[in-house]
Structure 1
Amino acid sequence: MTEIDETISEFKSANNKSLTFLETELRKIRTGKATPDMLEGVMVDYYGSMTNLSKVANIGTLDGRTLTVQPWEKNILSDCAKAIINANLGLAPQDNGEMLIITIPMLTEERRKDLCKIARAEGEHAKVSIRNNRKDAMDYIKELKNDGLSEDDAKTAETEVQEVTNAFVKKIDSLIDAKEVDVMKI
């Protein structure tokens, strides 16, 4: 029975990774208010190596509509600005010589709907990942069944895998619903 427990544990772990990835992707979708998470994943050319912006600069918010980026070294200020522009986030940093100031534009109704579609697409990617994990777990249970696992134990394991799948799909749906409410809020 320990092999089944191990399989289900690995299945839950893989699903948690998919959920964590979804949460990271959803943080990148802007909601109209400034958050440092919006610049997550922006890479800066820092002395020849691509480095995450948050590793070379302090990212903060002045108010609900303004981000600030203050590099640890002033000589990379223009590199940080280029990286933000090249990240295709729709943001235009202004350089005041000491830091970058980024005003977050108001989202139009059409843009909000587009962002909701993007969030739903990310949710679907996460669900596909969960389903692939389920298929792997079910295939392994079938292998165990062929190797002598009883029919009842196999059925019980398959039912547990399906219940875990359903729970993760519900979590994904609730994350997407919450993001949509956040995006549509003016």
Structure 2
Amino acid sequence: MASKRSLEEEVKVSKSTLDSLHEELQTLQAEAYQLDGIQKDKEESYRVLQYQCDAAEQESARLLQQNKSTEELLQQYKCQIQGFKLKHRKQQLKFENQLQQLIEQHKNLQSVFMPQNLPAEVESAENTKSQLLAAEQLKRAQLGRLEKELEMARSQKNPPETPETAETQSGEIDINESSNSFIPLTFSEV
């Protein structure tokens, strides 16, 4: 009988141990399921982050290329503006020389002209002077517009295409736009 009780005690202990092992197994399975869910969430987060990282690298490369292109374009505009300024300065000097020559010619030939022709020659010289000054003002205005476009291109990193920039890009600037009506000074003989 004692051995029966002892066996019953052992069975109870074994059953109790089995029940506690069952509960521990269920707890471990629940933890494993939770850990598996966490692992899947982390893997999904990793894939999303990897995709975002790849996209960010591509965007960074694109922006670097765009920045390089913009810098090259800005350098090109700077060169065009310098060329335009130089050309404008040469034109200005040419206009000033022409004006000075006309003034000197007028002074030297003043005695040759008859008194009744003198007012017409003075008016002709003044017209020539005003035409030259108007042409100079037009070129200054064009230069100002071009400089404003350069500033806009610097600020926007994507300069707009305008007829003026198209002219300067092709290198063909019509310097006689407003001076087509230039009337050369002629002197009548005595």
TM-score, shorter chain, exceeding 0.5: no
TM-score (norm 1): 0.35
More helix by share: 2
Pick the structure with greater CA Rg. Answer: 2
Which structure: greater strand fraction?
1
